[in-house]
Amino acid sequence: MPQFDEFTASDILAKDSWTAQATRPAIGIDVACTKLVVDLQTMPRANAEAVLQAALATLRESTAVDTAFLLLLAADSATIQTVYATHSSLMQGRIETLRGESLEQYPWLRSRLDHLRLSELRDCAGPRKEQQAEAARLLQLQIGSMLAVAIRVQGRPAGLLGLGTILPRGAWDVNLQLLLKLVGASLASALERIALEMRLLTLEERVELSQLAANDGLWDFDMQTNAVYYSPRWKVMLGYDGVDAERTVEWRSLVHPEDLVRVQQQLREHIDGKQTVFESVHRMRHRDGEYRWVMSRAKARVDEHGRLLRLVGVELDITERRLYEEALFREKESAQITLQSIGDGVITTDGDSVIDYINPIAEQLTGWRLEDAMGRPVEEIFRAFHEETCEPLENPLTVSIRRARPSKSVRPMLLIRRDGNELYVESSAAPIRDGAGKCGGGVLVFHDVTESRELNRRLSYHASHDLLTGLVNRREFESRVERSLKSARARESSFAMCYLDIDQFKIINDTCGHSAGDVLLGQIGALLKSKVRWRDTLSRLGGDEFGVLLEACSLDEALRTAETLRESVRNFRFTWEDRVFRLGASVGVVPITADNVDVASILSAADSACAAAKEAGRNRVHSFAEEITETAAVASFSQANRFIQALRELGCKFALDDFGTGLSSFGYLKHFPVDYLKIDGSFVREILHDPIDREMVRSINEIGHLTGKLTIAEFAENAEIIQMLTSLGVDYAQGYGVAQPQRVLKAVNA
């Protein structure tokens, strides 16, 4: 077995250099980071390799990286002796090939081996000048970005603990950096502990063998002859073997000056009969000048007058034991600091679920101080309730101890603090087993998810609602229509849908601005919502279009509801900057039946019915089945043509508005003898960025010219759009890029 100073981290973990006694089974706390740290802190030497591999796997999964690795250095601190690593399925390179390589090849990393110093290589394809050697090697291993922390054991560089991703990334998150340092500190502490255990084992073997030759050193002071005797073992213990110690060594002069006063006082009390035996633990100077800890016991013999005649004592060198006790104390302190520094609340109990410890975070979350919580049942401190029904829940730690297996909450639970305040937490619990595998207690780990839960609730709301009106958005509306269609096919209920388009909205939006349009939409949404039943769904489908899904509603009932909505909009007055506007609503109504093909066909039919209501004169309700006859459409065109011809005789000219938005737009050109063709603004708005919109405008313009009509482009909102329209040959432009809307009287006077 190597001497203590010769142990490397790899020697510590080598199977053939250690014979372990029965180890305690893993505790199994099902919280990744906490379990990782605790496992490392309690890592037994016998299965250290397995613990390290599991810890690396946990670290990789918890941090969502592609590889987690540990490079252990040889005794020279310059050669990679052992490599532990875990990879994702995407990793083709193997970091294990670094085994045997010298750090001389990687000067940047070699210069950063201070304890717990972080090294960050964000992009191996574009490293800094001093990182080029490391970056090139990592790229060979298919690592694009790396974060590593150096660890030291026994005062010398022992290795690197690192994370890696295939793709380069920006700065590594500070939480990952802190986690890596915490895990590195725990790993270094564990390796230090194992090294100390190995040293102590060596010393214990030495003590065991020397017990046959009387391990205690003995001294004997004879006050009558003024003679002193030191046993051979005593001389060996303090380095005076082969020396005439009886003539040259004074026992009192070897006692450490800081301990001497206490030792003399205890001896005096014993000689005076105040203590039956002299017992002391103090330091004595070795011949080489080093002080050793000894346990000293002595017995005095006095005469009838209380005068000292003889003092015989034995001393045992306990320096190694003191080192072990100090190491255990540091280990305990390290574990306590870890529990106090993690961001989760931790509660531990005995086998009866009585609390024996809570960390500072648990104090904050529960409102209980450690001294008040100790000795109380865990149910009294951690009071859990269902997050929605508020029904009491059985304590998760009690459940875990009873079932003798770990458990984790599948959803947040409501925690009532000592002061009555509430918060939402997620938790995990696990039993703690003794060396025989018997459950002797448990640990509960939990953290506050109140803010994240509220954020998720808000995100869910925003994903399904229109922010302007607060109504259900189109995506959610279509989802509910789909559910209604399934219900209709199952003959569970009857449904209908209304499709509303606000007449005159475009006028208000163009003349008063978008702010006025937004306010109007909000008021219309509130108005319509007040007219439908609580079980019906009102949605803003986009622009000035609204949809209503009517549940348990026949077509006749739906038509009456649509008429109510239309009348409400008709009676509504919108006021903006001392101006009052009247509105109207064109409403299309369709039933939802088992014969409907899908949601798209229902929406299309409702939209077509709404368009028919507009073509019939606006501000009215229209309903038909899904097949729209050409005869009805032609009849509408005929009526419109007669109207156009009558006004043209009076000198009026006509423009066909919003051209291109309907499927039958090109059919209008064959029936309506209009003078101008207005290209719908939805194609013009993104003409500078969308090639499809640009080609649509070009096509409509060319078709308009072929039919002898002048073209007008809507939404020409800036000079760049106007320039593009000019290049396409469009005759006229309408929009803020030409001029801002003005009151009629003001424009005339100007």
Residues known to be catalytic: 544
Burial class (CB in 10 A: 0-12, 13-18, 19+), 571: exposed
What residues pair up with 415 in beta bridges, in sequence order?
A: 384, 423
SS3 assignment, position 75:
coil
Distances (CA, A) of 341 to 34, 230, 336, 360: 11, 52, 9, 8
Q: Which amino acid type is present at position 209?
A: L
Q: How many residues does the chain have?
A: 750
587 token code pair: 């409403």
The dihedral through the CA atoms of 235, 238, 241, 243 has a sign that is negative
The torsion angles phi and psi of 524, rounded to 5 degrees, stand at -65, -40
In this structure, are residues 284 and 255 in contact, taking their beta carbons and an 8 Å threshold?
Answer: yes
CA 159, CA 177: separation in Å to the nearest integer?
17
The dihedral through the CA atoms of 586, 592, 593, 599 has a sign that is positive
In this structure, are residues 493 and 591 in contact, taking their beta carbons and an 8 Å threshold?
Answer: no
CA 161, CA 469: separation in Å to the nearest integer?
53
Q: What is the DSSP letter of 15?
A: G
CA 551, CA 488: separation in Å to the nearest integer?
10
> To 10 degrees, what angle do helices 474-489 and 599-615 make?
110
Burial class (CB in 10 A: 0-12, 13-18, 19+), 63: buried
CA angle 95, 96, 100 (to 5 degrees): 115
Q: Which amino acid type is present at position 549?
A: L
C-alpha count within 13 angstroms, C-beta hemisphere, residue 347 = 35
* E-only strand ranges, 14-144: 67-73, 80-87, 118-121
Beta-carbon contacts of residue 497 (< 8 Å; ≥ 6 apart): 481, 547, 548, 549, 550, 558, 589, 590, 591, 592, 602, 603, 606
CA 405, CA 222: separation in Å to the nearest integer?
66
The dihedral through the CA atoms of 260, 263, 267, 268 has a sign that is positive
SS3 assignment, position 676:
strand
Buried-exposed string 175-204: b where 16+ CB fall within 10 A, e elsewhere: ebbebbbbbbbbbbbbbbbbbbbbbbeebe
Q: Which amino acid type is present at position 235?
A: K
CA 231, CA 234: separation in Å to the nearest integer?
5
